[in-house]
Amino acid sequence: MNIVLIGIQGSGKGTLVSSLEKHLDLNVISTGQLLRDEVATGSSLGKHIKEIQMNGGLVELDIVMDVLNKKLKSNNKKITVFDGFPRNTEQANALDKLAKPDIVIYLNLTKEVAVDRILSRLTCSKCGQIYNTKRINTLVCPNCGGKLEQRFDDTIESINKRFEGFYKDTYPLIDKYKKDNVLFEVDASGTPDQVAETCLRIINEHNN
Ligand code: AMP
């Protein structure tokens, strides 16, 4: 089963993935994280990716498909969750050929709440778990002991560019997936547990 998560930055896609992983055996394909992993190697490709991410632009499709395919090939799980892919029609068409989505969850959240969440977001440099500074008072990950830090691309300039890209290129996919009869809209303003519970119900109803 292929699940796609769509939502503006800060809508809680990464947090939802972590919650779902506690209940389901998942292969998670987070293109943003896979690209950040390449950045962390310090390779020349990583330097190129970092420059684009800092500006909030989209990394070229061939590079994204390359990291995505590598992760997909090593998959032996029944459920695959795509977080951050597809981001436009070109990517959605590529995904339809590769792994047609069975469920697309649109995490609906206002831009104002999303900005507030992003600016108080801390990510573990080791395990990738996401925290909110309003709910945690340490820079050490309670999950694995790794260092909690702000994402290098969580600057106001990059955030605004990513919002612009979302409404222009990603939002129209909602219509496509509605027509494909696979779209589920979820109110993302609730607590992480509430959002996860709603999404788990949707997934379990379709996973029999
Ligand atoms: P995210 O972790 O989803 O917020 O993504 C962080 C950054 O990684 C984005 O701003 C893009 O620069 C890049 N990125 C992530 N997913 C994609 C994608 N599907 N296509 C192109 N660039 C991407």
Mean pLDDT by 10 residues, the chain (208 residues): 96 94 94 94 97 93 95 89 97 96 97 92 89 91 94 89 95 97 97 96 89
Atom 6 (ligand 1) nearest CA = 32
User: What pLDDT score was predicted for residue 40?
Assistant: 92
Give the predicted TM-score (pTM) of the model. Answer: 0.90
User: What pLDDT score was predicted for residue 208?
Assistant: 67
Question: Tokens 């055996």 appear where?
Answer: 25
State if residue 57 touches ligand 1 by the CB under 6 angstroms criterion: yes
Beta bridge partners of 3: 81, 103
State if residue 121 touches ligand 1 by the CB under 6 angstroms criterion: no
Q: Which tokens belong to 54?
A: 């800092």
State if residue 84 touches ligand 1 by the CB under 6 angstroms criterion: yes
State if residue 80 touches ligand 1 by the CB under 6 angstroms criterion: no
User: What pLDDT score was predicted for residue 167?
Assistant: 96
Q: Residue 183 Cα, ligand 1 centroid: separation in angstroms?
A: 21
State if residue 198 touches ligand 1 by the CB under 6 angstroms criterion: no
**Residue 63: half-sphere exposure toward Cβ, Cα within 13 Å:** 17
Strands 121-124 and 79-83: what pairing?
Answer: unpaired
Q: What angle do CA 169, 27, 57 make, to 5 degrees?
A: 25
In whole angstroms, give the CA distance from residue 35 to residue 59. Answer: 9
In whole angstroms, give the CA distance from residue 51 to residue 32. Answer: 13
Q: Report the first-to-last Cα separation within the chain, whole angstroms.
A: 10
User: What pLDDT score was predicted for residue 151?
Assistant: 87
Which residue type is seen at 71?
K
Question: Tokens 């090939």 appear where?
Answer: 73
